[in-house]
Amino acid sequence: MDSVSVKNLDLNFGSVEVLKNLNLDVKKGEFIVLLGSSGCGKSTLLNCIAGLLDITEGQIFINGKNVTWDEPKDRGIGMVFQSYALYPQMSVEGNLSFGLKNAGLPKKEIEKRVAQTAKVLQIEPLLKRKPAALSGGQRQRVAIGRALVRDVEVFLFDEPLSNLDAQLRTELRVEIKRLHQKLNNTMIYVTHDQIEAMTLADRIAIMKEGVIQQLESPHTVYNYPTNKYVAGFIGSPAMNFLPGTIAQQQKTCFKFGDEVLDLSHYEFQGTTSEGQTAWLGIRPEQVVFGDDAKNLPVRLEVDVEVIEPMGADTLVWSRLAGQEFHFKVIGSCTLYVGEKIIIGFDPACASVFDMNTEQRL
């Protein structure tokens, strides 16, 4: 039985369609990340599951129960918000226990749950402090703890780390991963940060304009994006796209500019036709240069235009067939602007998309 199931969900605000015939099944104990740019509908979907928004059409099931019109408190969920939403006049202990007291739980049970949660989140020394005396990371731990004490099977996270600095985000991301491994509860997590998505998720749902574009494991989404939007959204730096046409000679090829690339080892998902316009997508880390390019099927000469040192790696910008083309090299490599170098890549590792539909070929 699925832990959370969303069936044919529509949400309209007046004449504006926000979510469109959306379906999502989350397995028990699974960590699902809803990923997309601002305005794609990911937080809206989470709020619908939580019961904070009334849907227009469709149904929502949690642990087999139809909760479409249930109040948030009756859905068996715990939610962590972006803004912490702590009561400033209460201590950490008071914040953790407030919801349990309202639910009428016995005092000993409340004390037990608060103690267990504080131990899991390593906030035991903070129980007597008020939120104003806590750092951002500590406040977010308390916000997570307030959801944990409810002892529910489904946790919803709405961009919980977006207000923190980069180092804290990394630390808490690891803690959330450990928390899921320890509790094995179902977690649905909203973010616009693809690093969070790739590192946390069992599966990623990439959304655009209220529609899930692809729902797969991080490995599949990264290596086999279903369309050009997903390919361009996942990966940092972003994928390169070269425009060209499919040529059916003795073998399938891709023609761009004066170049003809052999695609005979590329796994096409369907049939292609002679002269079909397409995009060839190559990730920057799939490109090598110099001696490493000697044995690769594709070798091209490019001019170095811009060099961006990034520590362990260096990002190099050049042009191919009039298109900007960037690739990574080891940070210790010495390159110069204006230098001509030989780069190479294997088209079998590329992604090819129809130019009209933008779907993977």
- Domain end marker among 233, 257, 292: 233
CA distance 361 to 352: 6
Same domain, 205 and 266: no
Taking Cα atoms as reference points, which of 338, 306, 303 lies closest to residue 320? Answer: 303
DSSP 281-346: EE-GGG-EEGGGGTTSSEEEEEE--EEEE-SSEEEEEEEETTEEEEEEEETT----TT-EEEEEE-
Are the C-beta atoms of 210 and 40 separated by less than 8 Å?
yes
One domain for residues 227 and 245: no
CATH number at residue 283: 2.40.50.140
CA–CA separation, 71 and 54 (whole Å):
10
Give the Cα separation of 86 and 237 in Å (integer). 36
Does residue 361 belong to any structural domain of this protein?
Answer: no
Looking at the fold, whether 244 and 228 belong to one and the same domain comes out as no
| Residue 60 and residue 182 in one domain | yes
Same-domain check for residues 45 and 190: yes
Owning domain of residue 63: 2-233
What DSSP letter does each residue of 246-270 carry, written as one string?
A: EEESSSEEEEETTEEEE-TTS--SS
Q: Are residues 216 and 286 in the same domain?
A: no
Residues 80, 144 contacting (CB under 8 angstroms): yes
Residue type at 19 in one-letter notation: L
How many structural domains are present in the chain?
2
pLDDT tens track of the chain, all 361 residues? 789 999 999 999 988 999 999 999 999 999 999 999 988 999 999 999 999 999 999 999 999 999 999 999 889 898 888 777 788 898 989 898 888 888 888 888 888 888 888 888 888 888 999 988 988 888 888 888 888 888 888 999 999 888 788 888 888 888 889 889 988 999 999 999 999 999 999 999 999 999 999 999 999 999 999 999 999 999 989 999 999 999 887 788 899 888 888 888 888 987 888 889 999 999 999 999 888 888 888 889 999 999 999 888 999 999 988 889 999 998 888 888 999 999 999 988 899 999 999 999 9
Q: pTM for the full model?
A: 0.91
CATH number at residue 66: 3.40.50.300
Do 51 and 133 sit in the same domain of this protein? yes
pLDDT attached to residue 249: 73
